Amino acid sequence: SQTIHQWPATLVQPVGSPLSLECTVEGTSNPNLYWYRQAAGRGLQLLFYSVGIGQISSEVPQNLSASRPQDRQFILSSKKLLLSDSGFYLCAWSVRLAGGLQETQYFGPGTRLLVL
């Protein structure tokens, strides 16, 4: 079965410091990968998605970047964190099956980021 891991689970960082959040998927090949941010009590905002190694698409301009160095690894980064980067970050994966529109997304446990 497929599993998705995220670490760290919780992170407290000072403003201006760098960031690296990691997401890995097991039990599947060539997944689509996604990074979301969720503000407290709100829905999810898509930040980045990737359909393959080295292929990153950004949905909103921001202080963050993403990379996919390996098939099942997705990294969210920042060179200098802002207070507004605080939130809950969720990684998700999906597989598009042959025959059309089938792409349920499955989520990792998330990372709580607090920027002080």
Partner 1 sequence: AQTVTQSQPEMSVQEAETVTLSCTYDTSESNYYLFWYKQPPSRQMILVIRQEAYKQQNATENRFSVNFQKAAKSFSLKISDSQLGDTAMYFCAFMKLLMDSNYQLIWGAGTKLIIKP
Residue 11 as a binder of partner 1 (CB under 8 A): the answer is no
Closest by Cα among 11, 5, 115 to 63: 115
Residue 101 as a binder of partner 1 (CB under 8 A): the answer is yes
Candidates 16-24, 41-49, 60-68, 76-84: pick the segment binding partner 1 (CB under 8 A).
41-49
CA distance 71 to 33: 9
Residue 46 as a binder of partner 1 (CB under 8 A): the answer is yes
Signed CA dihedral, 10, 16, 18, 23: sign only: positive
Residue 13 as a binder of partner 1 (CB under 8 A): the answer is no
- Whole-angstrom Cα Rg for the chain: 14
Q: Which residues of the chain form contacts with partner 1 (CB under 8 A)?
A: 32, 38, 41-44, 46, 49, 51, 57, 59, 88, 90, 92, 94, 96, 100-107, 109-110, 112
